[in-house]
Chains A and B, each alone.
Chain A
Amino acid sequence: MSALLEIAGVAKSFGTIRAVDGIDLAVAPNEFFALLGPSGCGKTTLLRLIAGFEHPDRGTIRLDGADITATPPNKRPINLMFQSYALFPHMTVFANVAYGLEMEGLRGAALKARVEQALGLVQLSDQASRKPHQLSGGQKQRVALARALVKRPKLLLLDEPLGALDKKLREKMQIELKRLQQETGIAFLVVTHDQEEALTMADRIALLDHGKVAQLGRPRDLYERPESRFVADFVGQMNFFEGHRRGSGFAVAGLGLLPAQDLDAVPEGTAASLAVRPERVVLSDTAQPGAFAAEVVGSAYMGQDLVVHLALAGSGLPLVARLPASHRLAADIERGRQVHCSWAAEHARLLVK
């Protein structure tokens, strides 16, 4: 399958700031793609480059094989849903959605049918004659979505689409966006700083850092096989141990030799970080071979999970563990309690970068 959107060597600077610093990526047709990263990582600039509001200093942007690097935004078969929604305040919901079709020269019954279909898709048919200021945040968001989708673009760009919504509505809209993407068959490219949003919705994620792609892959790849400390730290929660690759394991001062996966990939003596997800830490109240004694310094009850903060005996190094609330120990974890913790070698990842 050939790519729908191809970005090759794209760079853009503002003054001395390299907002986008040589990015290559490809989005497949019908894909739900997420650009994830902290603020200032260049994801919004990249989005504006794809929409055509900014012009790259170098590199090319291709859509469906055609070079659109120099095409003005109003001539690109790409639509953008703005973070602020940017609804036209002086027009009704219907007129907002009809606007883009009118620009294509569509009139009369054909126009009306297309607008009504789009409003139906986002379940706003009964709000057509309202003005934007009469709508709730969630309704505005759906008008913005209908306005962008009604043009049947080849690619829909969404800038922090759920950023302005409260948590409950956000979770509902995540599912809703996924449904719309599958129903319309349009490729979605979402910009977000919320990793949970990206993990839930996207088929693939590009995690950006300082204008470059830090890692590109499926949500599972980013979460379970991070390639750098930045990725491991940004996506989800992570425990890090600093040390050196030595012999049959990973040497950490005060802890000795820890088990780790893919040891062969790292040369002997290399400085690295060992990364362990909190949910991979196994807690037990009896000593086991290879387990470390630790003391509970605090815990946070999260509903289905219990997050336990530990201090390893001897070294005092911090460790976070995450237990399901149904875990045998979860009921009586309290400050000062002694436990033993361990993890399997395949869940400890060595990161050199």
Chain B
Amino acid sequence: MIPSKRDIIIRSLRHHRGTLFSLSLTALLVTAVITASVLAGYSVRQTLYSKTAERLDGGAVLASSGLRFTELQLARDLQEILGVEAVPMLSLNGYAGKFETGTRAMDVNIWGVERLADMPERGEAVINRRLAEALAIEEDQFLILRFTPPSDLPSNTPFSPEKGEEGSLFLRVKRVADTVPYANFNLSVSQIIPYNIFVNLEEFGEFFPDGPKINRIVVAEHEAATADEVRRAVAALSQPGSIGLRIRPVGATGGYEVISDRVFIDSHIVSSVTSAIGTASPVLTWLANRVESDSGSTPYSFIAAVSGSSGITEPYDMVINSWMADDLQVGVDDSVTVAYYVTGRGNELVERSAHFRVSAVVPLEGVWRDSLLMPEFPGIAGARSCTEWDAGVPLDLDAIRDKDEDYWYDFGGTPKGFISYETGMGLWGNQFGPATAIRFDSHAGAAELKDDLESVADIRGYGIAVTDLLAEGVRAARGGVDFSMLFLALSIFIIASSLIMTVMIVQNHMLQRQGEVRTLSALGFNRRTIVLLFTGESAVPLAAGVLVGAAAGMLFNRVLIAALNSVWSGAVQTDTLVAHAAPLPVVAAMLPAAALALLTVVVTVRRFLAGSTLHIRPGMSGPKALPRWLLPLAAMVSVALFLAPVVTDADVTLMQFAGGAVAMIFLLLLLHAALMRGVAGRYWAFFPGRGVTPATFIAAGLFVVIATGVNRRDFSREADRRDGGTGGFTHWIETTIPVEENLNNEAVQRRRGIYADDGLLFMAMPRVDGDDASCLNLHQIATPHILGVDGELLSQRQSFSFATRMRGAPDRDIWSLLEQPAGENAIYGVLDQTVMQWGMMIKAGDTVTVTSESGEPLHVIVAGGLRSSVFQGHMLVDASHLARWFPSVAGSSVLLAESGSGDHREVAEMLSSSLDPFGPVIESTPSRLEAFYSVNNTYLSVFLLLGGIGMVLGVVGQGLNVRRGIEHRKREYALMVAAGFRLKTIRRMVMREQIFIVAAGVATGVLSAAAASAAGLIRGGELPLGLIALLVLLMVVAGVASLLLSLRTISREELTAALRGQ
């Protein structure tokens, strides 16, 4: 009999369903946007997960020797011990060209394989669809593949032979693989499909003395083959041969020695072995250009630095053999000078000299006649004469005498002089290693020595890094760009507009039901119950809106993904994203949307009840005039902010933005003052919010949208600015084959045909490949590419600028910090600020740990974040540190060039031709920046579009506001009608008022945004005039339409009813 609260809610819902239906629409909109945003992020993540599995083709764990090579047998042994497939691969980088046309594709992943579905024979290749399309090549056509020849001995090793031709293969395309899983195989963490070519491993046998080697082993996914298991297996299987070490007997001493395929032995190996095996002692043998005395000069002699040699008591003592003593006419206590080459900065050869005292003269026999002390330099060992030597250094053949040839013939590389090992280390120690051999004075035999070496724990598995590919891929995908938050942020105006409309609908609704509120209160309903009744009736339409909105959101997600794959592909660099949906993310979106919508209703109802004082008429506290000083104060503050950069060091962009924002406030205050004039102004005087609030919303929205739009940057004007993102360089060059020559050398330039009217400066940068950490990669990257830069040059040029720097970094010059060591296994580095903040989620002062060439961890302390630069995606360290920690990186595969003047396009064409053998890709630095900013600009475009939609919705909401105002003023209008005003006149009056408010909002937003964007405009940004015009047009159309609809309620019937008070 007594109605329950539920009964009242249901009745009210039925009675007011028209009004409450509009709540459904706003809830639908909010939910659709939130759901679509959440699903967009979910879809991208799911796509990246599936792409991870796709690009790994069943592989789960990687054992990699990095820049070095290991034996094929290791893969076979690994497979046997694990019982899981372990695929050996030789991974190289090169470029391919179609034989018939010369069409090229750069940066091709070359996979040397010994097993593959549809395995290519020698002379054949299997390529993926992407490469086939780039080359416009089909099956049975031919291509040429060029690459840096793989070698155990890096080409920049001291005394390695002159660099020969790059490796090349002439291959028939056996198959274009586009559906098989391995087609897009990629060990790099990226959504971009690489160029892949699969070649028979045997093709690379010629580059290794004992048959082909590998540098990657991909272990298939299996529960028995976790990364730890693989790591243990690799360590257990590790033999000296796995890390390029060989044991051989030393006839001269009766002992044994260990030598390396890389000639020099890593310091870690030397220290581990000499610590573990007491009989071990290191040897370092070097080629001296000459040994001179007062009486003569002996050219091109080997000097061995040995430990514990009799006759050497002082650091600069030298024992020489009798042959040299005769040649130089010296004896004990005489002085000799040794001249020798070392590698300086930029791999330039530098001749140095050291003075020694002859401490003993020994006969050329026994332990002193030991030709095995000479390392097996490929260009020297095996030469029949000295003149045949290819030592990788300039040789003055005229200085070689017959007696020198005779010595070589009789004694080979037997050192003519001996110094202490410590002294030799000081003179000739280099990044490749401190020893050319480790000698063992006494051992039972080679087998026992091998066992002893294998038991040295620290070198087991040395140089082989094991990575859990799947876990890394999943982590990188999960931590990548969060498109959910991104789209939520970009859609903020739509969400805000929808919620504002919700507020307006509820306020309107409450206004119409003021009497009910009064009655309920008078009858003894407490405020909480009244709120419950009014929000309870909203819950059903809200819930309906949320449900339908979730479905709409799923559709909208498909639209978003389709847009990302097409018109917005600049943001994702792929067109293979797939729209996904699942119950959990949908529910995760619906809940906050529902909560937000419901909360908005609850808060609005509560505030209305509090403001209406429930029981009597709405509180009217009199006209609200602004303090007189507010307007001039706002004007002065705005002007001061605009002038601040002129008289202080304040940032121009920031001050102008702030000045523009205050100018907007000033204009809105001006609007407020204008509204209060005249007869109509009496209404606005009491309710200024109803006029200024919608204008504020429109102005603020336009301000943000326009100011953001100007930040779409045009980099064509940045080419000359050294402190800008180009550093003053004009061209960014990447080569597939690293350039080992110094391109700043005039002779090299002449030989290569490099010329430019006003000179050309190159900065060569060796690179260690990692993962692309630029914004073009959707994944979160932990190990970016590393570039070795010339910090001194950048410091002198004052190139680039820093957005952030770590505490304690020098105020002005971070580049000079890079050269300094930062501690044990630690160096300083620099990253692009955008990459740091959004890609890697780190900040200045944090540490990035990478694996050095030897497998040791290298900690790179981020000294600063570069303002947007061409280096995006790379971590910069000093070239000297890169050479030390990655000695096998020979040459530079990245260069920056600065041409003084002239047509940059012509320079690019010239460089492309001159550097053709290296497989160059040349782009202007502004173009490179533009590409990075395509991501940023795409996001801004999306923001402009979604923001614009939000603005239009806001204007539609303004129609509701008008409706509310009309409701509020109905009696006023009714009285005017009773006094003789025509309805048409009243409608016209309302229309004029509202159009004035919208126009004022638009003008305020546009003017203040233009002022705020001045700095951006000067920098090259452009006002998106087309978009602004479209936005304004849409707002005007939407505003007028909703206004006209609202004006229909000003009818004679409605006004009469208002007079009657019903």
A binds B: no
